[in-house]
Amino acid sequence: MSGVEEKLVRYLRDAKYEDLPSKVIDTAKNMILTIIGTTIAGANSEGCKALVDQIREWGGTEEAPGRCAGFPAHLPGVF
């Protein structure tokens, strides 16, 4: 690893919430809220039923990495 990579890894490993700049925290919170909001707002949009049906057809197990519409879902090629 180069010196720059080592410094970055060390910074990330040792970083604490208090160490993060407030702008970074605010941006992360905003992104999370945006994702949640758009997910909820678009849940019944055109095409969603077809997507849920396709995911259900792919099947899944309780150990599956994702959940969609209340059933286990495996997303091929993603996980």
Quickly state the pLDDT bin for 79 (edges 50, 70, 90). Answer: very low
Q: Judge contact between 61 and 74, C-beta under 8 A.
A: yes
Mean per-residue pLDDT, 19-46: 89
**Is 59 in a helix, a strand, or coil?**
coil
Mean per-residue pLDDT, 32-52: 84
Sign of CA dihedral 11, 4, 28, 39: negative
Quickly state the pLDDT bin for 53 (edges 50, 70, 90). Answer: confident
Cα angle: 56, vertex 44, 27; to 5 degrees: 100
Of 8 and 78, the structure prediction assigns the larger pLDDT to 8
Quickly state the pLDDT bin for 65 (edges 50, 70, 90). Answer: low
pTM above 0.75, yes or no: no
Give the residue extent of every domain in the chain: 1-42, 46-79
